[in-house]
Structure 1
């Protein structure tokens, strides 16, 4: 289901809404004002599995905090 992010021009409230058949929300859920603006948002994808990728360390691959060349792998 497509989920879009919106921002109310009246009160500034940000919210997400499921949009089915192109029917967008008509009112802000916080103040019930009709002036809504669709926001640019990123999407999230989930692949099967439970592994979590670690962020690269200081040298970019091994994670040695002393920097590039310190671990003698690079």
Structure 2
């Protein structure tokens, strides 16, 4: 069984109908008795969490030891470049 959402064009109410997927295209009458209804696209069944198309990239912290070396050479890490030891 699947849950389908409909909207009545006469009164504007939105309602849900639980039916087998084989009957997904069947029309549904409004609970108030109106027959002019339209099935709505529901994203609930598509699953997953909503995500943006691109995720912003946060520049590395100068204190994290990661990312490209600062201008003038050197590297990150515990000593600020040149290796530890």
Moved over 4 A (4+): none
Larger C-alpha radius of gyration, 1 or 2?
2
Equivalent position of 1:27 in the other structure:
29
Number of residue-to-residue matches in the alignment: 58
Equivalent position of 1:50 in the other structure:
none
C-alpha distance in 2, partners of 1:26/1:39? 12
TM-score, normalised relative to structure 2: 0.47
User: What RMSD over aligned residues (CA atoms) do the two structures have, in Å?
Assistant: 3.3
C-alpha distance in 2, partners of 1:4/1:11? 18
Q: Is the 8 A contact 1:26 1:34 kept in 2?
A: yes
Q: 1:14-43, CA deviations, whole angstroms, 9 ceiling, x for partnerless residues?
A: 1221123417453211x2211110111211
Structure 1 unmatched runs, 5+: 47-52, 61-66
TM-score, normalised relative to structure 1: 0.52
